Structures are given as C-alpha cells and as structure tokens.
Amino acid sequence: ATVVETWGSAPRPVGSHLVIDAHGNFHGSVSGGCVEGAVVSEAIDVIDSGKARMLEFGVADETAWQVGLSCGGRIKVYVERLG
C-alpha cells in the first residue's frame, strides 16, 4: 500500500508504504489509527483477488484524532499485490 496523494494534514507523506501479507501481518505505515487497520483489511482482499484498489480516507478537524489523523485532511492510498 502506498500513499499517492494527501490534502490538508496527513501523518505520512506521499510515497509512504505499508507492506501486508495474507495473514494480516504488516510493516511500515501509511497513516495510523483505524485508517491503517482499514488498509490492512482491504489489502488482504487485494491479495486474494489480485485486483488493485485506490482507497481514499478523509476526516474533519473535529473528529481527526478519533480515526488516527493528526488533524483534518485526506489521504489516497493505492493498494496492489506484489509478486
């Protein structure tokens, strides 16, 4: 999984990676909080199907900490199967 775009505040810059295996083990970071959990879940589906996905996460300033973003912003994450 790779951060491909950010708008506003984002805890990880464009180009940040998260590598996930079929068991849900992961290394790296694309955001944190529940965003990272959602990316891991989607990545397992991508591993099974072989079909890449573009994910987008956004949050308002008022609820940002609840989802693991430092303040309001959006990120776009590309998830693809390797190998």
Task: Tell me the C-alpha distance between 34 and 10, whole Å.
Answer: 14
- pTM for this prediction: 0.83
The residues spanned by each domain of the chain are 2-79
Contacts 24+ apart (CB under 8 A), 56-62: 57/31, 58/7
pLDDT at position 57 is 87
The pLDDT tens digits for 8-59 are 878 899 999 999 999 999 999 998 777 899 999 999 999 999 999 999 987 6
Task: Tell me the C-alpha distance between 22 and 45, whole Å.
Answer: 9
pLDDT at position 83 is 81
